[in-house]
Amino acid sequence: MFGLFRKPPVPDTDYSQADLELRAVRDRALAGDWAAARELIEVTGRDWELRDRRLTVLAIAAGQTPQWLDAWEAAVPNDPTVAILRADALMDQAGDARGSASARDTSREQFQEFHRLATLAAQATQRAVELNPDDPYPWGTRMNSMLANGHQQHEEFGVAMGEAVKRDPYNFETHTIAVTFLCAKWYGSHEQMFAAAREPAAAAPVGSSAAMLPLLAHFEYALREYGFDTRAESLAAKASYFHRPEVIREIDACAAKWRGAGEPPLTGRGVTLRHWLALANYLAGHDRKGTNALLAQIGPYLGSTPTYGYFWMRQSEGFHAVWKWAR
């Protein structure tokens, strides 16, 4: 009973989320110990999802404070990880330049800077590909860069995606970018977006994070159909979509497949996908007890979970709303 009156946790917004090893290594790298970052990526090996997430967090740090990456490159000029971090840091800077507002509320100057930095990121991926041809990650960064000019790059996007899935067929980051690129608010349609989510989700093995891709498609659909610019004001309309029985069935089926090989780890995309499932359950008014268990696993680790921003103006507001409902 007393648990009902507990305050929600203060959100931990560190991008590393529950990967505390990554958090410590990132901080060491920022203090000048670039070798710690190099060793972390080496020991992560070909666990592509974990590696992707760790590279993403390190790239954010490199974009904000590049001195440690400069020292790494000076010491090991042809290290493929350096090339990846250079490209990804540029793409992260491009995203910051554009901002998260709708196209209507984004200035011409913001779009121009987004395009400039995304173009530089695309060019930088070529070196990463040349240095490590087996790596799917640079192809994902190249796909991401095409968000800046997707109307003219549909064919190139398909080529880059083909290269990425050739190296890792159910790579979560690759397919997430595809769902985003092909959604109606960017360069596709609802039909294309759902196909990009459902096909890999159906084909992926049990336990794969790709099984959860349809949840992202449902979030995107609700955002587009029930008010991108109004966010919280249209929350009830968006939630009514998630109450549809066929939507609830698909959410449950995706979650069952994702968890079918045992409880997924919290590292990699484990925390983000738990947030997705908790959010979907909240919107559907479904499985409060299961959502409470998910939040117990998540703890305070919010990191950056943009899907909360589809329904609230701040991610932390969404996290707290779901937490209070589940309690």
pTM score: 0.92
Chain centre distance of CA 150: 19
- What is d(CA 25, CA 212) in angstroms, rounded to the nearest whole number? 29
Rounded Cα distance between 124 and 103, Å, is 26
Residue 112: C-alpha distances to residues 106, 143, 153, 317 (Å): 10, 18, 17, 31
Q: Residue 244 in 3-state DSSP?
A: coil
**Per-residue confidence (pLDDT) for residue 279, from 0 to 100:** 98
Question: According to the model, what pLDDT value does residue 144 have?
Answer: 87
- Give the torsion sign (CA, 255, 138, 199, 100): positive
**Cα–Cα distance list, 288 to 136, 260, 316 (Å):** 38, 20, 19
* CB-based contacts of 142, cutoff 8 Å, min separation 6: 121, 122, 125, 160
Pairwise CA distance, residues 34 & 15, whole Å = 18
Letter for the amino acid at 278?
A
Nearest to 130 by CA among 174, 84, 94, 180: 84
Provide the residue-wise pLDDT of the chain in tens; the chain has 327 residues: 345 447 889 999 999 999 999 999 999 999 999 999 999 999 999 999 999 999 999 999 998 899 999 999 999 989 999 999 988 888 777 776 666 656 666 677 786 777 788 778 778 888 899 999 999 999 998 898 888 777 778 899 999 999 999 999 999 999 999 999 999 999 999 999 999 999 999 999 999 999 999 999 999 999 999 976 665 558 999 999 999 999 999 999 999 999 999 999 999 999 999 999 999 999 999 999 999 999 999 999 999 999 999 999 899 999 999 999 999
C-beta pairs of 146-150 under 8 Å, 24+ apart in sequence: 146/118, 146/122, 146/181, 147/118, 147/180, 147/181, 147/186, 148/94, 148/114, 148/115, 148/118, 148/119, 149/115, 149/118, 150/181, 150/186, 150/187
Around Cβ 286, how many Cβ atoms within 10 Å?
16
- For the stretch 119-156, pLDDT in tens is 787 788 888 999 999 999 999 988 988 887 777 788 99
Residue in 148, 202, 206 with CA at minimum distance from that of residue 177: 148
Q: What is the pLDDT of residue 1?
A: 39
Looking at the domain covering 20-168, what would its CATH class be? mainly alpha
Distance CA 201, CA 194 (A): 10
From CA 106, how far away is CA 208, in angstroms rounded?
36
Measured CA to CA, the distance from residue 248 to residue 25 in angstroms comes to: 40
Phi, psi of 146 (to 5 degrees): -75, -5
Question: Domain residues of the chain, as ranges?
Answer: 20-168
Torsion angles phi and psi, residue 105, rounded to 5: -105, 20
Amino acid residing at 114 = F
Q: Name the amino acid, one letter, at 97.
A: A
